[in-house]
Structure formats: C-alpha cells, structure tokens
A and B are shown apart, each in its own frame.
Chain A
Amino acid sequence: MEKQWYTISVYSENNVGLLNRISGIFLKRHINIEGLNVSKSEIEHVSKFTIVVYTTEDWTRKIVQQIEKQVEVIKAFYHTDDEIIYQESALFKIASHLLFDERQIQNIIKESNSQIVTVNREFFVLAKTGRRHEIDEMHDALEPYGIMQFVRSGRIAVTKATMPITELLTEFQEN
C-alpha cells in the first residue's frame, strides 16, 4: 500500500498524560509523528490533537482505532490532504542588514505574502502562514542569504465535509 500524508484529528478530555499515551501508540509501531498540534476545540474542555503522519492508509486506520480505544479519547478521525483545509505557520529570523544589502529579500517578502512581525537593528522576523510546500519554498528562497533561526508549527486543519463529531460533541457538552 502506498504511503501518503494523513492528518489525524483527535478529540479528547484535557488530561495530563494523554499526550504520552497517544504518542506511545505511534512509538510502538515505529511511525514518526511529522507534525503535532494540541489546542482547544470548538467544545469547551475538549482538546483537539492534530497529528500529521506519512504512512499507509492501513497503518493510519489501525492507529486511529487504537487512539480511539483510549479511555479519555472521545473520537479520532483521519483525512487525506484533499479532504481538509490546513495551514502551518513559520517564523524566519533574518539579519537586518540583508534587507538593504540584498534587494531580492524584499521581493521574497512581497511574493510570499509573509508579514514582518518585528524589526530592530540586528534582525527582523518574518511570519508566514500557508501550506507546507509554500513554507518550504520560502525557506529555500531565503536560505542562500542566511537564516538566523527558523521554526515551523504543527499543522492545524478543519475538514471540508461536515463532521459527525459536531453532533457527538454537542451531546457530550450536554452531559
């Protein structure tokens, strides 16, 4: 079976130790977590994990079954990239003199649709939100000039289709 990118969404109780329990499910099967984001969800006191993996659908399905089996997990889903709207964010820290010495930098900023978060004498910081390949492209464009620091967030995603979780969570909230 062919490997591809899958985004796993996990709705759970917000409890200490659950992250360890969930990450253990990947560890046990030697599957690397490529991206991880934990945040609150549309329902109060319900956390949402967004986990990105590169593997086969068979493995993804089994992992989701195992995740959903955990006592504190309400529901888990997986989706391919086509089925979701997703974004990642990145920050680039770059030496300030490059803004003046390298004209191309300004073009990259304009073309990439990134924002300048801060500027001081030593460095400036660019923020970029988009798909992973867009961030990768911007990274590749800036790299020849020197990037002082780079960081990219985990993926966040919502589905294109209506999710049955909405009803389930409403019920859940009433309990």
Chain B
Amino acid sequence: METLKAQKKEQQKQTTMRITGAEAIIQCLLAEGVDLIYGYPGGAIMPVYDELYKFQDRLTHILTRHEQGATHAAQGYARVTGKVGVAMATSGPGATNLVTGLADAQIDSTPMVCITGQVPRHLLGSDAFQETDIVGISTPVTKWNYQVTKVEEIPEIIAKAFYIAKSGRPGPVLVDITKNAQFDELDFSYEKCTGVRSYKPVPQPDPQAIEQAAELINKAKKPYIVFGQGVILGEAEAELKALVEKAGIPAAWTILGLSAMETDHPLNVGMVGMHGNYGPNVLTNECDVLVAIGMRFDDRVTGDLNTYAKQAKVIHFDIDPAEINKNVKADVAVLGNAKETLGMLLPLINENKHEAWLAEFEKKHQIEYNELIEKDIHPTKEGLTMGEVIEQINQASGQNAVIVSDVGQHQMIACRYAKFKQTKSNITSGGLGTMGFGLPAAIGAKMGAMDREVVAIIGDGGYQMTIQELGVIFQHNVPVKIVVLNNDHLGMVRQWQELFFDRRYASTVMTNPDFVKIAEGYHIQSRRVTERADLKEAVQEMMASKNPYFLEVKVEKEDNVFPMIPSGASVADIRLK
C-alpha cells in the first residue's frame, strides 16, 4: 500500500522542461501512448516534422501520398485497435484534404486526433500563403476543434483533444497550431485530461429504465435485437452475447455492428438495412419488442420511417442522448455505455427460448438462400461474382481476417458474406460512404493489427480515388492483401441507373488501366483472375503470402446487389430481385 502511494506520488511529481512548442507536441503524443502517426509535411508544420525526425525511434511517422489517406489510415488503425488514430497535415490544402476523413470519422464515431499547422499568429486573417480557416471549415465535421496560437496552450489542448476524441461517443478532434506556437518555448509538463466541466461523456444509467426494458423483454413473444457499433465502441460484445443467449433473442446487425458477434452464432440472424438480409428486414415489422443497442436508426437501416417497426415497443440503448427519439421514437430509452447498461440488464432477464420466432428467421433465410445467396456464393453462370470471391476469402482466412471494404456494391457483398469470429474486424465507411476509404484504411488496420491478416476489398472506382497509397504499402512493406473486384463500372450507381433511371448509364462506365501493372510498378506481387477455375488457388496464394499482395478479380460487369430496399420504401417491401 505504502509503495503504491509512493509510486503515485512519484507519478504526480511534475517535471518541467524548457522546450519548443513543436517538441511539446511530440512529448504530448508520446505521453498519450501514441507510437504511430500518419501525415504529410508542409510549410506551416515543418517545426513539428523537424522534431519527428529527432524522435523517429519512438514515434513512427508514415508519409501517406495524400492527406486524405492519412485520415483514413488513422481511422483504420483506430477501428481495429480501439485507440485514437492520429493524422497530421500542414495548413491550407493540407488541412482541407483532411475534411473527408474528419466527416467520415464524425459520422462513424471514430476516435481521431488531427493536428494541422497554421500560418503564424500575426498573419492570421491576412490571406497569407496556405492560410485557410480550417477551424471554421472543420467545425461541422468534428466533435471538437481548437486553434492554438500561444505555445503555453499546447499541453492542455492536446490532452483535451485525446480525452474528447476517445471518451463517450468517440469522434474526430482537430487541433490547429500556428507556426509561432511551434517555434516558441514553454516550461513543459503534461497532465492527462480526465474531464471537461461542460462535457458529460457517459450518461448515468437509470435503473428504472433498465427495469422497464427488462420487463418488456421478459414479456415479449417476438423480441428482436438490432445492434450497431455502440457494442464495439463500448466493448460490450460479451454482454451482448450473454443477453442474446440468455433471453434467446434473434440478433441482427448494422454494417458497423458487424463482427461484434460471431457470424456463425445460431442467434445471429444477419444484416439489417438496404442490402441486408431478407428475414432481418421483413421481420422488423413483425417483432413485438425491438431492442436497438448502440445503433442510430440510419435511413439506410430503416427505410421509410412511417412504416418502420410501428407494431413494436422500441427499447433504445445508446450513449448519446441526441440519438434518442431522433429518428425512431423509443418507448424505453436506456442511456449509458452499453457494457454497463447491458451488464445491469442481464440479471433482470429471464432465461427464454423463442423457437417458433427464430424459425421464422430460418424460413426467411431459406427463401433468401435459394433465391439469391446460393447464386452469389456458388454461382454456376459463366461470369465471376463478388460473392464467390468473399466466400473464398472466408475459407482461406478461416474467418479470422480483418476485412476492410471501400464503398459500393463490393462493400455490400463483403458485409453480407464475410464471416467473422473476432470483434473489430469489419472496417468500412458506413455513414459517409466514402469511396477511397478502403486502401488507406487497410494500411492503418494492418499497422494496428500486425498479427492478423488484413484483406482490403475494393471496387475499381474507389480504388482509383486513393490508389497512390500503394506507395506507402511498397515503401514500408505493409503486408496488406488487396482485392480489387473489377466490373469496369461504378457498380452501385450503375445498378440504380438500371433500376430507377431506365438504364441510362451516365458516367458509370470505366475504362480502366492495367491494375496489375500499376501494382507491379510499386513492386507489389500481383495477379489477375478472370476464370473461376483459378480463383480458389489465387486467393490461397494471396493469403499465404507474407508480403503485400494485389489480386484483381474480373467480375461480372452488370451484376446487381440484392436484396434491396428501394430508397424510401418500407423494410417489409425488400426486393429479392
């Protein structure tokens, strides 16, 4: 006890040192446990890069080929590790190139800290070279942001940035630091932030609400759980599984909730939403109690709100009070961290089995399997399908890989068919739908989980939005497996044109370069598959490789993703074809 006290005292003893603001930034990052950052240097951030050079044995900086790539890599790292991802850029265009990644991290609740250089304080507002109001620009797409103009502010603000990014519902924070503050000196000491007085990140759970929730669940004849990323962010996977098993409730997931529960669990009934599974969508409108856990009733999940689960009592578990009654009215709202609230709920839940209700999901699954799934993953037609590629990856990876997807048809197919045994394994741009997310996010994911296989599934469109990040994979030999599912189209837009715009294929046909040659230009081992006969062996070769590997699969050009809830339609009206 005494030694513990002494140790604590020792830790508390503040040691100050006289250093520059630029070094202080590095010291802050080290104090926050950061050992990896992504970024791109430039004039207004040069003092920090000069310090990065000195500290390169303790802090690895990865030069992405575009600042957007730095944000997505930081996001991939954050999503796979649960830690805060860090990206750095210079002022002006460097800073504006972060905006897409910030918006993506904001809507998908990803903890990220972005540090930008800014012109010196005396030039602010003068339209100086590479001056841009990044604090103004990034306000709507950050959880918090701040412009540091005095060196003394650096430790407190960076501590606050990490605290805000990670706590409560996570999100991106941007700290803009003027060049004078980087050059000036301060007496540096660092104290981690443990609270901001105006900010209550985790609401106190209300035991009464939890009792009401338990009562509804215990009385329910057809209870149904839909879980989202809140389970992963709150590290409530075990509690979710315990609830599902104890109460015998079928559980479905949003695409960001995917991998929070193993895919093959008998009570895991699949995916909700526009391209989700048949049963989970149709039966949303037949359940009597809908238990939403850490999800936000996005329009791609609910379809038409006026016809969404109207028959059901809705219980909404969320950490963010602003999500309650935002889209779907909750009969019982349980605020708090899912790990805590589900933990409190569990002892109040009666053991149960809902076999007849579960059988309805199985029946719907059979319909979907016969109508669609079998043709997707075991096709007999000539052209290759995206689904069979994912199925081969499942087999070769033993369902243990981290799957990073980009945005579009391949993303929906990847989320539908990829199988997972571990949490934090499905990384995709859900809310923002950012094409170009996949390749840089896969780099970050791999660097955050070097002991795991990371497979990036990308379409030919999104791939070319951030293809330059192959340079990072080559330079640092990041052993990411890249699978481009090439249909020579912007497939999802083309699908909508086919279904809703009378096949007027406006700007969705792509004349693509030789992707294998491009990868070879970066000295990445590459292969192209055009025949089914070669697919299995090619995927196995890729998965067996210890190095980065690029696999292009030429898939059917005009395949559609089904099932589909047409935009604005009811979940009950999901189309199988």
Contact = CB atoms under 8 A, between A and B. Distances in A.
B7 interface: no
B261 to A, nearest CB: 28
Contact of B198 (A12, A61, A62, A65): A12
A28 interface: yes
B322 A73 contact: no
B136 A69 contact: no
A102 B394 CA distance: 89
A21 B321 contact: no
A69 B140 contact: no
B139 A17 contact: yes
B198 A72 contact: yes
A165 to B, nearest CB: 12
Contacts of B139: 17, 20-21, 24
Interface in A147-175: 172, 175
Nearest to A63: B322
A143 B111 CA distance: 56
A14 B156 CA distance: 17
Nearest to A65: B322
Nearest to B327: A62
A90 to B, nearest CB: 31
B320 interface: yes
Interface string A61-79: 1100110110111100000
A72 B199 contact: yes
Contacts of B143: 71
A68 B322 contact: yes
Interface string B146-177: 11000000000000000010000000000000
B135 A69 contact: no
Interface residues of B, number: 20
Nearest to B164: A71
Given A17-B145, A20-B139, A66 B199 contact: no
Interface residues of A, number: 20
B197 A175 contact: yes
A71 B144 contact: yes
Contacts of A73: 198
Contact of B321 (A69, A71, A72, A175): A69
B320 A172 contact: no
Interface string B284-327: 00000000000000000000000000000000000011101110
A40 to B, nearest CB: 15
Interface in A12-36: 12-13, 16-17, 20-21, 24, 28
Contacts of B322: 62, 65-66, 68-69
A64 to B, nearest CB: 9
Contacts of B324: 65
A62 B323 CA distance: 9
Contacts of B321: 65, 68-69
Given A62-B326, A65-B326, A71-B164, A13 B198 contact: yes
A37 B23 CA distance: 41
B177 to A, nearest CB: 15
Given A16-B147, A71-B143, 16 more contacts: A17-B136, A17-B147, A20-B139, A21-B140, A24-B140, A28-B140, A62-B322, A65-B321, A65-B322, A65-B324, A65-B326, A68-B321, A71-B164, A71-B196, A72-B199, A74-B198
25 contacts: A12-B198, A16-B147, A17-B136, A17-B139, A17-B145, A17-B146, A17-B147, A21-B139, A24-B139, A24-B140, A28-B140, A62-B325, A62-B326, A65-B321, A65-B326, A69-B321, A69-B322, A71-B143, A71-B144, A71-B164, A71-B198, A72-B144, A72-B198, A72-B199, A74-B197
